């Protein structure tokens, strides 16, 4: 399956669906899920230093004899590595584990107070060196992005945040779009919370699709990048099988009513 790509502000392209890998650090399980993903058509893999699985992806793509240019690899600078010097040294470590000489998208994982400015400047320097194609942030609010304007030579291409039908964050989405920052949705299935919403169930039945596929399609139709996480080959295939139908205007209006500000992960809202 050919997955559509979206254009970033820096001219790079990002596949619209990627495989999330949080908690996927059992070598055998990782290998099985990676093969299932490749066979299903995934080429975008979302990792982070804190996930502890960069080395597994490096081994997996080498084992499968894939061309590095076929893959889109994202990783994130861990909280403990936020700060100029630590950011650069940990990036070198990530390159080594991933067995590559460049990263497609490098993100700051969280807006750590006082240190995030130094880390962002380090990302800008790394990008200028050619070893990162795009840079961005994760879990940044409007406040954090506004503050960046005072020190960033280049604003983020991506803001990766928790986003799903139950946490729609319309103000943040509108801000990012106005500033040409692509929104990437992590935990797009809300960690299987509220998987019995009658609106989603009705729309799933209408399109003969699964509950999860409706949640993912809702994100795709709004030009978000989505990174559903699974280790099940069946669910990995199901999560990408969302390009053969479209939600109509009534579906989209009904799904808008599902927003309940449901956060299932860490919240950056109160971080100064």
Instruction: Please give the Cα distance from 92 to 115 (Å, whole number).
Output: 19
Residues 186-215: b if buried by 16+ CB within 10 A, e if exposed: bbbbbeeebeebeebeebbeebebbbbbbb
How far, rounded to the nearest angstrom, does the alpha carbon of residue 137 sit from its chain's CA centroid?
10
Residues annotated as part of the active site: 51
Tell me whether residue 178 is exposed, middle or buried, using C-beta atoms within 10 angstroms of its C-beta: 0 to 12, 13 to 18, 19 or more. exposed
Instruction: Please give the Cα distance from 244 to 82 (Å, whole number).
Output: 41
Torsion of CA 79, 141, 225, 150, to 10 degrees: -80
First to last CA, the chain: 43
């Amino acid at each position: 399956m050919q997955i559509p790509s979206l254009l970033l502000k820096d001219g790079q392209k990002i596949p619209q669906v990627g495989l999330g890998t949080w908690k996927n650090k059992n070598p055998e399980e990782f290998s099985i899920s990676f093969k299932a993903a490749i066979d299903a058509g995934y080429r975008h893999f979302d990792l982070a230093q804190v996930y502890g699985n960069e080395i597994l992806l490096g081994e997996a793509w080498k084992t499968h004899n894939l061309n590095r240019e076929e893959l889109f690899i994202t990783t994130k600078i861990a909280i403990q590595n936020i700060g100029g010097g630590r950011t650069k040294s940990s990036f070198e470590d990530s390159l080594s584990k991933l067995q590559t000489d460049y990263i497609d998208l490098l993100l700051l994982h969280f807006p750590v107070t006082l240190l995030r400015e130094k880390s962002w400047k380090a990302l800008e320097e790394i990008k200028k060196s050619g070893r990162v194609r795009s840079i961005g942030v994760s879990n940044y609010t409007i406040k954090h992005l506004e503050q960046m304007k005072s020190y960033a030579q280049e604003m983020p291409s991506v803001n990766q945040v928790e986003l799903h039908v139950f946490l729609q964050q319309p103000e943040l989405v509108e801000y990012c779009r106005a500033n040409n920052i692509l929104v990437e949705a992590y935990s797009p299935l809300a960690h299987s919370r509220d998987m019995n919403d009658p609106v989603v169930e009705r729309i799933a039945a209408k399109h003969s699709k699964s509950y999860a596929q409706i949640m993912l399609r809702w994100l795709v139709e709004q030009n978000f990048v989505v990174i559903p996480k699974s280790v099940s080959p069946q669910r990995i295939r199901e999560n990408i099988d969302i390009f053969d139908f479209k939600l109509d205007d009534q579906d989209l209006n009904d799904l808008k009513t599902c927003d309940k500000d449901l956060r299932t992960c860490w919240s950056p809202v109160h971080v100064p």
